[in-house]
A and B are shown apart, each in its own frame.
Chain A
Amino acid sequence: MTSPSNPLPSSSPAGAPNRDGSKSPEHERLLPDPDRLAPEDAYFAPALSRVRSAPTNYEESLRSLNGDNASHIGSAAALRKKLGAPRRRKRKGAWKKLLWVKQSYPDNYTDTETFLDHLQRNPRVRPYDFWPLVADSTVIVQHVCSVVIFVCCFVGIVQDRVSPVSIVCWGSVGTAVGWILWDNWIWKEHEESQKEVDRTAGADDGSSSTSFASVAEASANDIHNDDTKINAIHGLGLSMSGNEPKEQLARRSADFSDTLDTDGLQTEQHASFPVPSNPLTGSTGSTDTTMLHDTYDTFRGSMLSPRNRQRLTTVKSALLIYLSLLGLSPILKSLTKSTASDSIWAMSCWLLIMNIFSFDYGSGEGAGATTKFPASLSTNAAVMASTVLASRLPSTTHVFSLMLFSMEVFGLFPIFRRQLRQKSWTGHVVLTLTLVIVAGGAVGVTLSGGWAAAIIGSVLGSILTAFVMGGCSWWLISLQKYKNVVIGPWDPARPIIRRHWN
Chain B
Amino acid sequence: MPYNIASVLPLHKSRSLANKLLVWSVTSSFLNQVRCLVFEFHLTKLTLLGGIESHIYQLSSKLIDRGHKVIVITHAYKGRTGVRYLTNGLKIYHVPFFVIYRETTFPTVFSFFPIFRNIVIRENIDIVHGHASLSSFCGEAILHARTMGLRTVFTDHSLFGFADAASILTNKLLKFTLSDVDHAICVSHTCKENTVLRASLDPLMVSVIPNAVVAENFCPLSHTTTRAPDQALSSPTDPPMSPRIIGPDDPITIVVISRLFYNKGTDLLIASIPRILASNPNTRFIIAGSGPKAIDLEQMLERNVLQDKVELLGSVRHEEVRDVMVRGDIYLHPSLTEAFGTVIVEAASCGLYVVCTRVGGIPEVLPQHMTTFAKPEEDDIVLATSKAIAALRSNKVRTDRFHDQVKMMYSWRDVAARTERVYEGIIGDISPEEFYGYYPGQGWDASGDRVRSFALVDRLKRYYGCGVWAGKLFCLCVVIDFLIYVFLEMWFPRANIDIARSWPRKPPARKSLDNQ
Residues of chain A whose beta carbon lies under 8 Å from any beta carbon of chain B = 1-12, 37, 39, 42, 48, 50-51, 53-54, 57-58, 60-61, 65, 72-76, 79, 82-84, 97-100, 102, 106-110, 115-116, 118-119, 485-499, 501-502
- B205 and A108 contacting across the interface, CB-CB below 8 Å: yes
Nearest chain-B residue to A484 (Cβ)? B162
- B430 and A75 contacting across the interface, CB-CB below 8 Å: yes
- A9 and B464 contacting across the interface, CB-CB below 8 Å: yes
Task: Decide yes or no: A491 and B422 within 8 Å by CB, A10-B462, A39-B197, A497-B268 being known contacts.
Answer: no
Question: Which residues in window 360-390 of B have CB below 8 A to A?
Answer: 360-361, 364-367, 375-379
Can you show 14 pairs from A to B with CB atoms below 8 A apart? A2-B202, A5-B203, A79-B421, A102-B414, A108-B435, A119-B193, A485-B163, A486-B162, A489-B193, A490-B191, A492-B336, A493-B337, A493-B376, A494-B336
- Per the bound structure, the CA–CA distance linking A100 and B414 in Å amounts to 12
Q: Which of B110-118, B206-214, B243-251, B496-504 contacts A (4 or more CB under 8 A)?
A: B206-214
- B320 contacts chain A at the CB level, 8 A cutoff: no
- Max count, chain B CB within 10 A of own CB: residue among A6, A12, A79, A102: A6
- A99 and B361 contacting across the interface, CB-CB below 8 Å: yes
Q: Which residues of A contact B311 (CB under 8 A)?
A: none
Q: Mark B420-447, 1 if CB is under 8 A from A, else 0.
A: 1110100001100011111110101100
Task: Decide yes or no: A107 and B430 within 8 Å by CB, A6-B200, A119-B193, A495-B267 being known contacts.
Answer: no
Nearest chain-A residue to B208 (Cβ)? A107
Considering the complex of A and B, which 8 residue pairs feature the smallest CB-CB distances, nearest first?
A: A8-B465, A3-B202, A107-B207, A493-B376, A490-B159, A496-B377, A10-B461, A110-B203
- Per the bound structure, the CA–CA distance linking A106 and B421 in Å amounts to 9
Q: Mark B439-476, 1 if CB is under 8 A from A, else 0.
A: 11010110011100000001001101110000000000
Q: Which residues of A contact B191 (CB under 8 A)?
A: 490
Q: Which residues of A contact B202 (CB under 8 A)?
A: 2-6
CB distance from A158 to the nearest CB of B (A): 42
- B190 and A489 contacting across the interface, CB-CB below 8 Å: yes
Q: Which residues of B contact A9 (CB under 8 A)?
A: 461, 464-465
- Max count, chain A CB within 10 A of own CB: residue among B193, B365, B420: B193
Q: Which of B91-99, B295-303, B323-331 contacts A (4 or more CB under 8 A)?
A: B295-303
- B376 and A11 contacting across the interface, CB-CB below 8 Å: no
Q: Which residues of B contact A48 (CB under 8 A)?
A: 203
Partner of B437, one of A51, A489, A494: A51
- Per the bound structure, the CA–CA distance linking A494 and B377 in Å amounts to 8
- B263 contacts chain A at the CB level, 8 A cutoff: yes
Partner of B464, one of A8, A106, A107, A116: A8
Nearest chain-A residue to B303 (Cβ)? A501
- A116 and B193 contacting across the interface, CB-CB below 8 Å: yes
Nearest chain-A residue to B515 (Cβ)? A82
- B194 contacts chain A at the CB level, 8 A cutoff: yes
- Per the bound structure, the CA–CA distance linking A36 and B465 in Å amounts to 11
Q: Which residues of A contact B271 (CB under 8 A)?
A: 497-499, 501
- Per the bound structure, the CA–CA distance linking A102 and B367 in Å amounts to 12
CB distance from B333 to the nearest CB of A (A): 13
- B465 and A6 contacting across the interface, CB-CB below 8 Å: yes
CB distance from A323 to the nearest CB of B (A): 42
Q: Which residues of A contact B366 (CB under 8 A)?
A: 100
- Per the bound structure, the CA–CA distance linking A2 and B461 in Å amounts to 13
Task: Decide yes or no: A73 and B422 within 8 Å by CB, A490-B194, A493-B357 being known contacts.
Answer: no
- B50 contacts chain A at the CB level, 8 A cutoff: no
Question: Which residues in window 336-373 of B have CB below 8 A to A?
Answer: 336-337, 339-340, 357, 359-361, 364-367
Q: Which residues of B contact A84 (CB under 8 A)?
A: 408
- A108 and B201 contacting across the interface, CB-CB below 8 Å: no
- B189 and A97 contacting across the interface, CB-CB below 8 Å: yes
- Per the bound structure, the CA–CA distance linking A76 and B160 in Å amounts to 29
Nearest chain-A residue to B377 (Cβ)? A496
- B480 contacts chain A at the CB level, 8 A cutoff: no
- A107 and B193 contacting across the interface, CB-CB below 8 Å: no
- Per the bound structure, the CA–CA distance linking A4 and B200 in Å amounts to 9
Q: Which residues of A contact B357 (CB under 8 A)?
A: 493
- Per the bound structure, the CA–CA distance linking A108 and B159 in Å amounts to 18
- A490 and B196 contacting across the interface, CB-CB below 8 Å: no
CB distance from B330 to the nearest CB of A (A): 19
Q: Which residues of B contact A42 (CB under 8 A)?
A: 196, 203
Nearest chain-A residue to B465 (Cβ)? A8
- B204 contacts chain A at the CB level, 8 A cutoff: yes
- B44 contacts chain A at the CB level, 8 A cutoff: no
- B74 contacts chain A at the CB level, 8 A cutoff: no
Task: Decide yes or no: A496 and B296 within 8 Å by CB, A42-B196, A99-B361, A116-B193 being known contacts.
Answer: no
Q: Which residues of B contact A98 (CB under 8 A)?
A: 364, 367
- B296 and A495 contacting across the interface, CB-CB below 8 Å: no
- A493 and B367 contacting across the interface, CB-CB below 8 Å: no
Q: Which residues of B contact A12 (CB under 8 A)?
A: 465
Q: Mark B192-230, 1 if CB is under 8 A from A, else 0.
A: 011011001111111111100000000000000000000
CB distance from A2 to the nearest CB of B (A): 5
- Per the bound structure, the CA–CA distance linking A23 and B410 in Å amounts to 41
Task: Decide yes or no: A501 and B299 within 8 Å by CB, A9-B464, A490-B193, A492-B161 being known contacts.
Answer: yes
Nearest chain-B residue to A9 (Cβ)? B465
Task: Decide yes or no: A11 and B439 within 8 Å by CB, A99-B210, A491-B337, A493-B337 being known contacts.
Answer: no
Nearest chain-A residue to B270 (Cβ)? A501
- B364 and A97 contacting across the interface, CB-CB below 8 Å: yes
- B194 and A488 contacting across the interface, CB-CB below 8 Å: yes
- B308 contacts chain A at the CB level, 8 A cutoff: no
- Per the bound structure, the CA–CA distance linking A48 and B205 in Å amounts to 13
- B179 contacts chain A at the CB level, 8 A cutoff: yes
- A497 and B267 contacting across the interface, CB-CB below 8 Å: yes
Q: Mark B147-170, 1 if CB is under 8 A from A, else 0.
A: 000000000000111110000000
Q: Which residues of A contact B340 (CB under 8 A)?
A: 99
CB distance from B317 to the nearest CB of A (A): 27
- B238 contacts chain A at the CB level, 8 A cutoff: no
- Per the bound structure, the CA–CA distance linking A42 and B268 in Å amounts to 35
CB distance from A402 to the nearest CB of B (A): 40
Q: Which residues of A contact B160 (CB under 8 A)?
A: 490
CB distance from A115 to the nearest CB of B (A): 6
Nearest chain-B residue to A57 (Cβ)? B439
Partner of A495, one of B336, B410, B444: B336
- B486 contacts chain A at the CB level, 8 A cutoff: no
Nearest chain-B residue to A76 (Cβ)? B421
- B1 contacts chain A at the CB level, 8 A cutoff: yes
- B418 contacts chain A at the CB level, 8 A cutoff: yes
Q: Which residues of B contact A58 (CB under 8 A)?
A: 437-439
- Per the bound structure, the CA–CA distance linking A100 and B196 in Å amounts to 22
- Per the bound structure, the CA–CA distance linking A47 and B268 in Å amounts to 43
- Per the bound structure, the CA–CA distance linking A42 and B196 in Å amounts to 10
Q: Which residues of B contact A39 (CB under 8 A)?
A: 197
Q: Which residues of A contact B134 (CB under 8 A)?
A: none
Q: Mark B277-305, 1 if CB is under 8 A from A, else 0.
A: 00000000000000000001001100100
- Per the bound structure, the CA–CA distance linking A82 and B160 in Å amounts to 36
- Per the bound structure, the CA–CA distance linking A263 and B268 in Å amounts to 31
Nearest chain-A residue to B433 (Cβ)? A61
- B409 contacts chain A at the CB level, 8 A cutoff: yes
- Per the bound structure, the CA–CA distance linking A1 and B439 in Å amounts to 12
- A8 and B462 contacting across the interface, CB-CB below 8 Å: yes
- B417 contacts chain A at the CB level, 8 A cutoff: yes
- Per the bound structure, the CA–CA distance linking A119 and B361 in Å amounts to 14
Q: Which residues of B contact A493 (CB under 8 A)?
A: 336-337, 357, 359, 376
Partner of B421, one of A3, A75, A110: A75
- B263 and A492 contacting across the interface, CB-CB below 8 Å: yes
- Per the bound structure, the CA–CA distance linking A118 and B3 in Å amounts to 37
Nearest chain-A residue to B462 (Cβ)? A8
Partner of A107, one of B209, B410, B434, B461: B209
Partner of B449, one of A10, A109, A485: A10
- B10 contacts chain A at the CB level, 8 A cutoff: no
Q: Which residues of A contact B336 (CB under 8 A)?
A: 492-495
- Per the bound structure, the CA–CA distance linking A58 and B435 in Å amounts to 12
Nearest chain-B residue to A4 (Cβ)? B202
